[in-house]
Chains A and B, each alone.
Chain A
C-alpha cells in the first residue's frame, strides 16, 4: 500500500498545489503541497496522487558509485 513511483515534473499548475508529471509516458496530475519547493525537470516520488519527496538524483548516482567503488577495493 506504500507503493510509490518516481515521476518527472513537466509542468507546475498556477495554483502551486498541483503539477503534471510524466510517469512511463503517461501524463498525470499530482498534488505538490507536501513539498517545499519543486521545479520542472525534477523527479518526485508519487504516492496516492501526492508527491511526497523530491528524488535526490545526485545521491542516487553517488550511492551506486560507492558500492561500485567498494567492489573495486581489494
Chain B
C-alpha cells in the first residue's frame, strides 16, 4: 500500500485545489487580456484524445470556456484510421484460418459493411488483448492458425507493437503477423496550420507521444514558428499549458515548450525510436478526413516482411464506401464539433456508434456525449 500512497501524493500535487484556484486567479486575467486584444476567444487545438477527456472530466474546459475554445484535433488513432484500413482488418477476420487480435477500441469501429464485433458474432475468431505481446502468446498456442494483430496507434503505442514482433522473432513464432496502420502525429498538424480557413492560435501537444519522440520530435512546429506546449493530464498541467500557450502567442520567435518534464525528455525514448527504425519505414498513408499525408505512417520494412499481414495473408477487400451522414472526417480535423453532426446523440451513441469518433472512449464524439451534452454553445 505504500506504493499507492506515494503515487497518490505525486499525482495529487497536480490536482491540488488550492494551488489550482490560486493559479486561476493569476492566469485567467492574462487570458482575458489576450482575448480583449484579439477581439475574440483564443483557439487552441489539443492533439490527444486523453487531453480531450481530461479537459471535460476535470472541469478545466468549463473554467476556461469564457476565454478559450478548445478544438479537438486528430488525437485518437482509432478515429483517424481510414475506412479502407477498417475494411482490410475486417477482411482478415473473415479468413477461416485466421485469428484477429486487437485492442478493444477497434471492435465496434464501422467498416463499409460490417465491424469486428459483428464478425465475431458470426463466428470469426476475434480476440481482445491488452498488450501486443498477448497476441504472440495466442499465436504460439494456435500453431495451426494465422494470428493478425491490428496495428493501430501513434508513436506511443508502436514501440510495444514492435516489441511483439521482436518477441515472435526471438521465440520463432512463425504464424504471427501485424497489419500496420500506425500513424505519426507531427505530419498531421502541418495541413491544419497551413489551412487558411482554420484559425488556430496554437497546439497542446500529446504528452505520451512526446515521451517517445521527445521535445525535439516536434521540430516541424518550431520551424513553422507555431505556438506549441507539451502538456500532462492533471488539472494544473492543463491550466498551466494553456497559460504558457497564450504567452507563446506574444513571442516573435517560438520554441516548443515542455510543460511535462516529469515524463518527457528532450530526446524522448531513444531506445524505442531505434526499435521503430529497425522494424518500420516511414510511408505516406491515408488518414480519415485528411486523405494521404506525406510521411505520416509506418509500414514494415523489407527485413520484417515475413511478419507483415498485408503481404503474407491475401484477402478479398470490398470496395470501400463512406458512412452516410457521419462527420468524423471533419471532426478529427477540428473543422466541426460533434454538435454539428446531425447523427450525434440521436442515431449515433456509444451503444450504437455510427462513426469511429463515437466508438473509442477517447474519441471526440464519445467524450462530448459523456460530458458536454446540453452545452451546445461549444462552437469552433
Contact = CB atoms under 8 A, between A and B. Distances in A.
Interface of A: 1-4, 6-8, 10, 22, 24-25, 31, 33-36, 43, 45, 47-50, 52-53, 55-57, 59-61, 63-64, 67-68, 70-71
What does DSSP make chain A's interface, helix, strand, loop or mixed?
A: mixed
A48 B103 contact: yes
Contacts of A2: 48-50, 77, 153-154, 156-157, 206, 208-209
Contacts of B1: 25
A53 B269 contact: yes
B271 A59 contact: no
Given A1-B154, A43-B10, 5 more contacts: A50-B160, A53-B265, A55-B10, A56-B261, A67-B23
Contacts of A61: 10, 13
9 smallest beta-carbon distances between A and B, as pairs: A49-B131, A60-B262, A22-B3, A2-B156, A8-B3, A2-B208, A50-B160, A64-B13, A59-B262
B160 A47 contact: yes
Contacts of B275: 34
A43 B7 contact: yes
Contacts of B7: 6-8, 24, 43
Contacts of B11: 6
Nearest to A72: B22
B25 to A, nearest CB: 9
Interface residues of B, number: 53
A33 B163 contact: yes
Contacts of A3: 50, 208, 362
B157 A48 contact: yes
Nearest to A50: B160
Contacts of A25: 1, 3-4
B6 interface: yes
Contacts, number: 131
Name the residue in B14, B163, B206 with the highest tally of chain A Cβ atoms < 10 Å from its Cβ: B163
Name the residue in B1, B49, B261 with the highest tally of chain A Cβ atoms < 10 Å from its Cβ: B261
Contacts of B265: 53
A15 to B, nearest CB: 11
B189 to A, nearest CB: 16
B221 to A, nearest CB: 18
A24 B156 contact: no
Given A6-B11, A8-B3, A67-B19, A1 B269 contact: no
A38 to B, nearest CB: 12
B132 interface: yes
B26 interface: yes
A64 B19 contact: yes
Interface string B30-55: 00000000000000000011100000
B172 to A, nearest CB: 17
Contacts of A6: 7, 10-11
Nearest to B131: A49
B212 interface: yes
B350 interface: no
Contact of A1 (B10, B78, B236): B78
